[in-house]
Structure 1
Amino acid sequence: MAGLNGASVYAVVDAGLQRPPAFAGVLYVVQGIGSVVIGLFAGALLRRMPERVFAAAGIMLFAMGVALRVVPSVPVVLLARAMIGAGLPCVLIAAMTAVQRETPGQLVGRVAATVNTPLFAPNAIALAAGAVLLALVDHCALLLAAGTAAAIAAVGCLLGSRARTQAAGPAPGGSARVEDSDTEGTETAHESR
Protein backbone atom coordinates (compact mmCIF):
# COMPACT_ATOMS: atom_id res chain seq x y z
CA MET A 1 0.00 0.00 0.00
CA ALA A 2 2.96 2.31 0.53
CA GLY A 3 3.82 1.92 -3.16
CA LEU A 4 0.28 2.78 -4.25
CA ASN A 5 0.37 5.76 -1.92
CA GLY A 6 3.69 6.90 -3.36
CA ALA A 7 2.49 6.59 -6.93
CA SER A 8 -0.36 9.00 -6.25
CA VAL A 9 1.69 11.93 -4.91
CA TYR A 10 1.55 14.04 -8.05
CA ALA A 11 -2.10 13.19 -8.72
CA VAL A 12 -2.97 14.52 -5.25
CA VAL A 13 -0.88 17.66 -5.82
CA ASP A 14 -2.24 18.31 -9.32
CA ALA A 15 -5.82 17.02 -9.46
CA GLY A 16 -6.60 17.10 -5.74
CA LEU A 17 -4.95 20.29 -4.48
CA GLN A 18 -4.45 22.03 -7.84
CA ARG A 19 -0.94 23.04 -6.89
CA PRO A 20 2.24 23.04 -8.99
CA PRO A 21 4.40 19.86 -8.98
CA ALA A 22 6.96 21.56 -6.72
CA PHE A 23 4.40 21.42 -3.90
CA ALA A 24 5.16 17.69 -3.63
CA GLY A 25 8.40 18.76 -1.94
CA VAL A 26 6.41 20.37 0.87
CA LEU A 27 4.45 17.15 1.33
CA TYR A 28 7.65 15.11 1.54
CA VAL A 29 9.06 17.48 4.18
CA VAL A 30 5.93 17.08 6.30
CA GLN A 31 6.08 13.30 5.87
CA GLY A 32 9.71 13.40 6.99
CA ILE A 33 8.76 15.37 10.08
CA GLY A 34 6.21 12.70 10.95
CA SER A 35 8.89 10.02 10.60
CA VAL A 36 11.33 11.92 12.81
CA VAL A 37 8.69 12.41 15.50
CA ILE A 38 7.77 8.71 15.64
CA GLY A 39 11.46 7.85 15.65
CA LEU A 40 11.93 9.91 18.81
CA PHE A 41 9.21 7.98 20.63
CA ALA A 42 9.53 4.50 19.09
CA GLY A 43 11.87 3.11 21.75
CA ALA A 44 9.65 4.19 24.63
CA LEU A 45 6.52 2.89 22.86
CA LEU A 46 8.09 -0.49 22.10
CA ARG A 47 8.97 -0.91 25.77
CA ARG A 48 5.25 -0.60 26.56
CA MET A 49 3.69 -2.67 23.77
CA PRO A 50 4.44 -5.75 21.67
CA GLU A 51 5.93 -5.25 18.22
CA ARG A 52 2.75 -6.43 16.47
CA VAL A 53 0.63 -3.87 18.31
CA PHE A 54 3.12 -1.11 17.50
CA ALA A 55 3.15 -2.18 13.84
CA ALA A 56 -0.67 -2.38 13.73
CA ALA A 57 -0.96 1.13 15.20
CA GLY A 58 1.44 2.42 12.57
CA ILE A 59 -0.41 0.67 9.77
CA MET A 60 -3.72 2.12 10.96
CA LEU A 61 -2.18 5.61 11.19
CA PHE A 62 -0.87 5.15 7.65
CA ALA A 63 -4.29 3.89 6.46
CA MET A 64 -6.08 6.92 7.85
CA GLY A 65 -3.49 9.25 6.34
CA VAL A 66 -3.80 7.64 2.91
CA ALA A 67 -7.60 7.88 2.98
CA LEU A 68 -7.51 11.51 4.15
CA ARG A 69 -5.48 12.47 1.08
CA VAL A 70 -8.68 12.39 -0.99
CA VAL A 71 -9.86 15.57 0.77
CA PRO A 72 -8.95 18.52 -1.50
CA SER A 73 -7.63 20.68 1.34
CA VAL A 74 -4.00 21.63 1.91
CA PRO A 75 -4.18 21.49 5.75
CA VAL A 76 -5.90 18.07 5.63
CA VAL A 77 -3.38 16.67 3.15
CA LEU A 78 -0.48 18.05 5.23
CA LEU A 79 -1.90 16.31 8.31
CA ALA A 80 -2.37 13.15 6.25
CA ARG A 81 1.26 13.23 5.11
CA ALA A 82 2.44 13.63 8.70
CA MET A 83 0.31 10.62 9.65
CA ILE A 84 1.79 8.61 6.79
CA GLY A 85 5.27 9.68 7.82
CA ALA A 86 4.65 8.56 11.38
CA GLY A 87 2.87 5.33 10.46
CA LEU A 88 5.19 3.79 7.88
CA PRO A 89 8.33 3.60 10.05
CA CYS A 90 6.40 1.78 12.79
CA VAL A 91 6.21 -1.34 10.63
CA LEU A 92 9.92 -1.27 9.85
CA ILE A 93 10.94 -0.52 13.43
CA ALA A 94 8.66 -3.24 14.79
CA ALA A 95 9.88 -5.81 12.27
CA MET A 96 13.56 -5.15 12.87
CA THR A 97 13.05 -5.03 16.64
CA ALA A 98 11.33 -8.42 16.49
CA VAL A 99 14.23 -9.78 14.42
CA GLN A 100 16.73 -8.59 16.99
CA ARG A 101 14.74 -9.86 19.97
CA GLU A 102 13.71 -13.23 18.56
CA THR A 103 16.73 -14.30 16.50
CA PRO A 104 19.77 -16.05 17.98
CA GLY A 105 22.74 -13.67 17.94
CA GLN A 106 24.76 -15.55 15.34
CA LEU A 107 21.85 -15.41 12.85
CA VAL A 108 20.73 -11.79 13.25
CA GLY A 109 22.60 -10.53 10.18
CA ARG A 110 21.24 -13.21 7.85
CA VAL A 111 17.71 -12.98 9.20
CA ALA A 112 17.69 -9.17 9.00
CA ALA A 113 18.89 -9.30 5.39
CA THR A 114 16.21 -11.86 4.54
CA VAL A 115 13.47 -9.82 6.24
CA ASN A 116 14.38 -6.78 4.13
CA THR A 117 13.14 -8.49 0.95
CA PRO A 118 9.48 -8.93 1.98
CA LEU A 119 9.56 -5.50 3.64
CA PHE A 120 10.80 -3.51 0.65
CA ALA A 121 10.29 -5.49 -2.59
CA PRO A 122 6.47 -5.22 -2.60
CA ASN A 123 6.80 -1.44 -2.36
CA ALA A 124 8.68 -1.24 -5.67
CA ILE A 125 6.17 -3.52 -7.38
CA ALA A 126 3.21 -1.56 -6.00
CA LEU A 127 4.77 1.73 -7.08
CA ALA A 128 4.83 0.50 -10.68
CA ALA A 129 1.33 -0.96 -10.36
CA GLY A 130 0.08 2.31 -8.90
CA ALA A 131 1.45 4.28 -11.83
CA VAL A 132 -0.46 2.00 -14.21
CA LEU A 133 -3.64 2.11 -12.12
CA LEU A 134 -3.60 5.92 -12.02
CA ALA A 135 -3.98 5.90 -15.80
CA LEU A 136 -7.13 3.79 -15.42
CA VAL A 137 -8.86 4.99 -12.24
CA ASP A 138 -9.27 8.22 -10.32
CA HIS A 139 -6.59 8.85 -7.69
CA CYS A 140 -9.27 9.17 -4.99
CA ALA A 141 -10.55 5.65 -5.68
CA LEU A 142 -6.99 4.32 -5.57
CA LEU A 143 -6.26 6.07 -2.27
CA LEU A 144 -9.49 4.89 -0.66
CA ALA A 145 -8.78 1.32 -1.77
CA ALA A 146 -5.20 1.51 -0.46
CA GLY A 147 -6.37 3.01 2.85
CA THR A 148 -9.02 0.33 3.26
CA ALA A 149 -6.57 -2.47 2.47
CA ALA A 150 -4.07 -1.05 4.96
CA ALA A 151 -6.75 -0.79 7.66
CA ILE A 152 -7.66 -4.44 7.07
CA ALA A 153 -3.97 -5.36 7.38
CA ALA A 154 -3.77 -3.45 10.69
CA VAL A 155 -6.75 -5.36 12.07
CA GLY A 156 -5.21 -8.63 10.88
CA CYS A 157 -1.97 -7.73 12.63
CA LEU A 158 -3.83 -7.04 15.87
CA LEU A 159 -5.81 -10.27 15.61
CA GLY A 160 -2.58 -12.16 14.96
CA SER A 161 -1.05 -10.55 18.03
CA ARG A 162 -4.06 -11.51 20.13
CA ALA A 163 -4.04 -15.10 18.85
CA ARG A 164 -0.32 -15.39 19.57
CA THR A 165 -0.82 -14.06 23.10
CA GLN A 166 -3.66 -16.51 23.73
CA ALA A 167 -1.58 -19.41 22.39
CA ALA A 168 1.21 -18.58 24.82
CA GLY A 169 0.97 -20.51 28.03
CA PRO A 170 2.56 -19.80 31.39
CA ALA A 171 6.21 -20.68 31.73
CA PRO A 172 8.72 -20.59 34.58
CA GLY A 173 9.84 -17.13 35.62
CA GLY A 174 6.68 -15.29 34.53
CA SER A 175 7.45 -15.32 30.81
CA ALA A 176 5.23 -16.81 28.14
CA ARG A 177 6.22 -19.72 25.90
CA VAL A 178 4.99 -20.14 22.36
CA GLU A 179 4.99 -23.42 20.44
CA ASP A 180 6.67 -23.03 17.07
CA SER A 181 5.76 -25.75 14.60
CA ASP A 182 8.75 -24.91 12.40
CA THR A 183 11.37 -25.61 15.06
CA GLU A 184 12.15 -28.28 17.57
CA GLY A 185 10.69 -27.49 21.00
CA THR A 186 9.60 -24.06 22.13
CA GLU A 187 10.90 -20.53 22.08
CA THR A 188 10.57 -18.06 24.89
CA ALA A 189 8.39 -15.13 23.90
CA HIS A 190 8.58 -11.62 25.25
CA GLU A 191 8.30 -11.04 28.95
CA SER A 192 4.73 -10.48 30.06
CA ARG A 193 3.92 -6.82 29.98
Structure 2
Amino acid sequence: MEVEVKSREIIKPSIPTLIHLRYMQLSFFDQINYQLLVLFIYFYTTTTNFQRSQRLKKSLVETLIKFYPFAGRLKEDDLYVDCNDQGVDYFETHVKCKLIDLVKQQDYHEFNKLLLYCKLTDCDAGNLTLVIQLNFFDCGGIAIGACFSHKIADTLSFFIFFNSWTVASRGDTIINCPCFDLACCAIIPCEG
Protein backbone atom coordinates (compact mmCIF):
# COMPACT_ATOMS: atom_id res chain seq x y z
CA MET A 1 0.00 0.00 0.00
CA GLU A 2 1.35 3.39 -0.99
CA VAL A 3 0.27 6.59 0.76
CA GLU A 4 0.92 9.93 -0.91
CA VAL A 5 0.59 13.14 1.11
CA LYS A 6 -1.53 15.58 -0.94
CA SER A 7 -1.64 18.47 1.53
CA ARG A 8 -0.62 19.53 4.99
CA GLU A 9 -2.01 22.52 6.79
CA ILE A 10 -2.63 23.90 10.22
CA ILE A 11 -6.30 24.14 11.23
CA LYS A 12 -6.97 26.86 13.80
CA PRO A 13 -10.12 27.73 15.74
CA SER A 14 -12.20 30.43 14.04
CA ILE A 15 -12.47 32.43 17.28
CA PRO A 16 -9.47 33.13 19.53
CA THR A 17 -9.44 31.47 22.94
CA LEU A 18 -10.53 33.83 25.70
CA ILE A 19 -7.60 35.29 27.60
CA HIS A 20 -8.67 33.82 30.96
CA LEU A 21 -8.60 30.33 29.37
CA ARG A 22 -5.16 30.77 27.81
CA TYR A 23 -3.26 28.56 30.28
CA MET A 24 -4.68 25.18 31.26
CA GLN A 25 -2.76 23.68 34.17
CA LEU A 26 -2.19 19.94 33.94
CA SER A 27 -3.03 17.70 36.86
CA PHE A 28 -0.18 16.36 38.98
CA PHE A 29 -0.47 12.94 37.32
CA ASP A 30 -0.36 14.45 33.84
CA GLN A 31 2.68 16.51 34.78
CA ILE A 32 4.71 13.48 35.86
CA ASN A 33 3.45 11.13 33.12
CA TYR A 34 5.52 10.25 30.09
CA GLN A 35 4.37 12.03 26.91
CA LEU A 36 2.28 9.29 25.31
CA LEU A 37 0.48 9.55 21.98
CA VAL A 38 -2.85 7.79 21.64
CA LEU A 39 -3.75 6.68 18.11
CA PHE A 40 -7.15 6.07 16.51
CA ILE A 41 -8.25 5.25 12.97
CA TYR A 42 -11.89 5.53 11.91
CA PHE A 43 -12.93 3.82 8.65
CA TYR A 44 -15.82 4.92 6.43
CA THR A 45 -16.97 3.13 3.28
CA THR A 46 -18.54 6.11 1.60
CA THR A 47 -18.07 7.98 -1.62
CA THR A 48 -15.85 10.95 -0.89
CA ASN A 49 -15.30 14.17 -2.71
CA PHE A 50 -13.75 17.60 -2.35
CA GLN A 51 -16.91 18.92 -0.70
CA ARG A 52 -16.67 16.36 2.12
CA SER A 53 -13.06 17.32 2.76
CA GLN A 54 -13.96 21.00 2.97
CA ARG A 55 -16.87 20.26 5.31
CA LEU A 56 -14.61 18.25 7.65
CA LYS A 57 -12.06 21.07 7.80
CA LYS A 58 -14.73 23.72 8.40
CA SER A 59 -16.36 21.70 11.16
CA LEU A 60 -12.94 21.04 12.77
CA VAL A 61 -12.37 24.81 12.87
CA GLU A 62 -15.66 25.21 14.74
CA THR A 63 -15.08 22.23 17.07
CA LEU A 64 -11.68 23.59 18.14
CA ILE A 65 -13.42 26.64 19.62
CA LYS A 66 -14.92 24.45 22.36
CA PHE A 67 -11.92 22.06 22.57
CA TYR A 68 -9.34 24.85 22.62
CA PRO A 69 -6.51 22.92 24.39
CA PHE A 70 -6.18 20.70 21.28
CA ALA A 71 -5.19 23.80 19.29
CA GLY A 72 -2.58 24.79 21.87
CA ARG A 73 0.87 23.50 22.73
CA LEU A 74 2.28 21.64 25.71
CA LYS A 75 4.98 23.61 27.46
CA GLU A 76 8.39 22.01 27.94
CA ASP A 77 8.09 22.01 31.71
CA ASP A 78 4.90 19.87 31.40
CA LEU A 79 3.02 22.03 33.86
CA TYR A 80 0.37 23.44 31.53
CA VAL A 81 -1.02 23.72 28.01
CA ASP A 82 -0.58 27.10 26.35
CA CYS A 83 -3.97 27.45 24.62
CA ASN A 84 -2.48 29.82 22.05
CA ASP A 85 -4.57 28.74 19.02
CA GLN A 86 -1.52 27.59 17.04
CA GLY A 87 -3.75 24.92 15.56
CA VAL A 88 -3.90 21.25 14.69
CA ASP A 89 -1.70 19.56 12.08
CA TYR A 90 -4.07 18.32 9.35
CA PHE A 91 -2.92 16.03 6.53
CA GLU A 92 -4.79 14.78 3.48
CA THR A 93 -3.44 11.74 1.66
CA HIS A 94 -4.27 9.50 -1.26
CA VAL A 95 -4.02 5.78 -0.46
CA LYS A 96 -3.32 3.73 -3.57
CA CYS A 97 -5.47 0.72 -2.77
CA LYS A 98 -9.05 -0.16 -1.90
CA LEU A 99 -10.16 0.08 1.70
CA ILE A 100 -11.43 -3.52 1.71
CA ASP A 101 -7.99 -4.75 0.57
CA LEU A 102 -6.31 -3.01 3.50
CA VAL A 103 -8.78 -4.42 6.03
CA LYS A 104 -8.55 -7.98 4.65
CA GLN A 105 -4.76 -8.25 4.67
CA GLN A 106 -2.89 -9.83 7.54
CA ASP A 107 -0.11 -7.20 7.83
CA TYR A 108 -1.52 -4.75 10.37
CA HIS A 109 1.68 -2.69 10.21
CA GLU A 110 0.22 -1.20 7.03
CA PHE A 111 -2.28 0.67 9.23
CA ASN A 112 0.64 2.76 10.53
CA LYS A 113 0.77 4.46 7.13
CA LEU A 114 -2.62 6.01 7.89
CA LEU A 115 -0.92 7.93 10.72
CA LEU A 116 2.38 8.88 9.08
CA TYR A 117 3.13 11.94 11.19
CA CYS A 118 2.28 10.29 14.50
CA LYS A 119 4.45 7.25 13.84
CA LEU A 120 7.39 9.44 12.87
CA THR A 121 7.20 11.47 16.07
CA ASP A 122 6.24 8.72 18.53
CA CYS A 123 9.72 8.60 20.04
CA ASP A 124 9.80 12.35 20.63
CA ALA A 125 6.24 13.65 20.87
CA GLY A 126 7.43 17.10 21.95
CA ASN A 127 4.62 19.58 22.45
CA LEU A 128 2.13 17.76 20.19
CA THR A 129 -1.52 17.98 21.18
CA LEU A 130 -3.46 16.65 18.17
CA VAL A 131 -2.78 15.52 14.58
CA ILE A 132 -5.46 14.54 12.06
CA GLN A 133 -4.78 12.60 8.84
CA LEU A 134 -7.61 12.25 6.33
CA ASN A 135 -6.86 9.30 4.00
CA PHE A 136 -8.77 8.93 0.69
CA PHE A 137 -8.78 5.43 -0.86
CA ASP A 138 -9.09 4.56 -4.57
CA CYS A 139 -12.52 3.04 -3.92
CA GLY A 140 -13.94 6.25 -2.40
CA GLY A 141 -13.65 5.12 1.21
CA ILE A 142 -11.87 7.19 3.80
CA ALA A 143 -9.92 6.60 6.98
CA ILE A 144 -9.52 9.39 9.51
CA GLY A 145 -6.37 8.86 11.51
CA ALA A 146 -5.92 10.84 14.69
CA CYS A 147 -3.34 10.96 17.43
CA PHE A 148 -3.44 13.09 20.53
CA SER A 149 -1.38 13.65 23.62
CA HIS A 150 -2.55 11.65 26.62
CA LYS A 151 -1.32 14.51 28.80
CA ILE A 152 -4.24 16.71 27.74
CA ALA A 153 -7.00 14.15 27.19
CA ASP A 154 -7.92 10.61 28.07
CA THR A 155 -9.71 8.27 25.66
CA LEU A 156 -13.18 9.28 26.80
CA SER A 157 -12.34 12.97 26.33
CA PHE A 158 -11.07 12.26 22.84
CA PHE A 159 -14.24 10.31 21.98
CA ILE A 160 -16.28 13.29 23.13
CA PHE A 161 -14.14 15.56 20.92
CA PHE A 162 -14.49 13.27 17.92
CA ASN A 163 -18.24 12.87 18.45
CA SER A 164 -18.61 16.66 18.66
CA TRP A 165 -16.60 17.05 15.44
CA THR A 166 -18.90 14.49 13.78
CA VAL A 167 -22.01 16.32 14.94
CA ALA A 168 -20.59 19.63 13.68
CA SER A 169 -19.70 18.11 10.29
CA ARG A 170 -23.34 17.04 9.89
CA GLY A 171 -24.37 20.65 10.47
CA ASP A 172 -26.04 20.10 13.84
CA THR A 173 -25.77 22.94 16.31
CA ILE A 174 -26.00 21.13 19.65
CA ILE A 175 -22.70 19.54 20.65
CA ASN A 176 -21.22 18.53 23.98
CA CYS A 177 -19.56 21.41 25.75
CA PRO A 178 -16.42 20.19 27.53
CA CYS A 179 -15.22 21.42 30.89
CA PHE A 180 -11.45 21.63 31.38
CA ASP A 181 -11.63 22.43 35.09
CA LEU A 182 -10.72 19.45 37.28
CA ALA A 183 -13.51 20.44 39.68
CA CYS A 184 -16.03 20.06 36.87
CA CYS A 185 -17.24 16.48 36.59
CA ALA A 186 -19.95 16.63 33.92
CA ILE A 187 -20.29 17.19 30.20
CA ILE A 188 -23.19 19.47 29.47
CA PRO A 189 -24.95 20.10 26.15
CA CYS A 190 -24.52 23.62 24.85
CA GLU A 191 -25.85 25.61 21.91
CA GLY A 192 -23.76 26.62 18.92
What range describes the TM-score normalised by the shorter chain of this pair? under 0.3
Structure with the higher strand share, 1 or 2: 2
Structure with the higher helix share, 1 or 2: 1
The structure with the larger Rg is 1
State the TM-score, normalizing by the size of structure 2.
Answer: 0.26
